[in-house]
Amino acid sequence: MSTIAMVKAAEKRLKGNVRRTPMLTSPFLDEVAGRKVLVKAECLQHTGSFKFRGAWSAISALPKEDRARGVIAFSSGNHAQGVALAASMHKTKAVIIMPEDAPKIKIENTKALNAKVVLYDRAGGEDRDEVANKINEKENLCLIKPFDDPEVIAGQGTTGIEITFQAKDLKVRDADVLVCTGGGGLASGIALALKEYSDNLRVRTVEPKGFDDYAHSLRAGRPVVNKNVTGSICDAIITPTPGLLTFPILNRLAGPGLVVTDEECLNAMALAFKCLKIVIEPGGAAALAAALFHGEYIDGNAVIAVATGGNVDKDMFAHALSKYGEI
């Protein structure tokens, strides 16, 4: 189980290797939301996603002899790129298991970071864990899980430390912190940090409609499995069920989960580009979509949305701009 002590230790290991991403604001977004909106731009992190934090944390925490063997990971793209870069920076090899339907840009970027990419049929029901385990039996690599790993959670939690101090600088002390959520690694890590550093900031998970296992699970007080496997443009945050390590943390520390539609995510992508001049992928825009279009479920005069990733295919981004932008 991850602890705040692990988050603090990860912060020390990440210093000088991770970007302190900005907290962005826009009067226009405030007007749309009806309250102050702060956007934590993790889309500007190394590899375009917060995932680099957890990957660096986990790989840097490995014993030297284990790290030298190389690492293996499974991911729809952002964790893949984070692990690939972190492994390269540690001068060790990486094998990444990715679904065939992952965005091409994420597959190409992962290969460009010198990782070996193995594709599997997610839509056809092929199990990524089994694929990874089969390869791992032959190569004896260290598995870096995308969210259910104490050191990964700790690394993601460093985002929460930054949020607390940036919010104070902007004179925001009471707000919901909306986090795009798949397995819950980022949300649980941030929740640990907020518990330690702030009395009035609270994590809220945000998921795409039809893939809202966390929203259902938090209501039920137990993990609930999604019926759907594919079918949302928010590929980065589609997981079948909450993590074994992440859910207990969020069940204790998070507020009720929020749910957004694919169309709301596209709209948020266009608004983020127009107002903040940043590029966000659909799954990375879910938190901002909730902040802008579901204000009735949010408390306080301010809200913080974590823009978790910006690795989007040009066709998808152009679609968002053509439908909701001014081009």
**3 state SS for 269-309:** HHHHHHHHCCCCCCHHHHHHHHHHHCHHHCCCCEEEEEECE
Cα(17)–Cα(151) distance, integer angstroms = 16
Looking at the structure, tell me whether residues 194 and 301 fall in a common domain.
yes
List the CATH number of the domain containing 298: 3.40.50.1100
- Running along the chain, 327 residues long, what does each successive block of 10 average in pLDDT? 95 98 98 98 98 98 97 88 96 93 85 94 84 85 95 99 98 97 98 97 98 97 90 91 97 98 98 98 98 96 98 94 84
Order of strands across the sheet with 142-143?
116-120, 94-99, 71-74, 142-143
* Pair (65, 204) in one structural domain: no
- Domain identity same for 66 and 160: no
Last residue of a domain, one of 119, 143, 167: 143
The encoded tokens of residue 57 equal 């944390």
Q: Which one of 143, 172, 204 terminates a domain? A: 143
Instruction: Determine the pLDDT at residue 46.
Output: 98
Same domain, 94 and 198: no
Query: DSSP E strands: which ranges in the chain?
Result: 23-25, 36-41, 71-74, 94-99, 116-120, 142-143, 175-180, 201-208, 258-260, 302-307
| Same domain as 274, residue 200 | yes
List the beta bridge partners of residue 309. Answer: 49
Same domain, 119 and 226: no
The reported pLDDT for the residue numbered 311 is 92
Looking at the structure, do residues 42 and 61 belong to the same domain, yes or no? no
Closest to 285 measured CA to CA, from 273, 301, 297: 273
From 98, 120, 143, the end of a domain falls on 143
Note the Cα 245 to chain centre separation in Å: 16
How many domains are contained in the chain? 2
Cα 129 to Cα 94: distance, rounded to the nearest angstrom: 16
Same domain, 291 and 182: yes
* Structural domain containing residue 262: 4-50+149-324
The reply to whether 174 and 56 lie within a common domain is no
Same domain, 268 and 193: yes
Q: Are residues 308 and 204 in the same domain?
A: yes
3-state secondary structure of 115: coil
Residue 105 has a pLDDT of: 82
pLDDT tens figures, 141-182: 999 999 999 999 999 999 999 999 999 999 998 999 999 999
CA 77 – CA 81 distance, rounded (Å): 6
Same domain, 171 and 116: no
pLDDT of residue 17: 97
Across the chain, what does the average pLDDT equal?
95
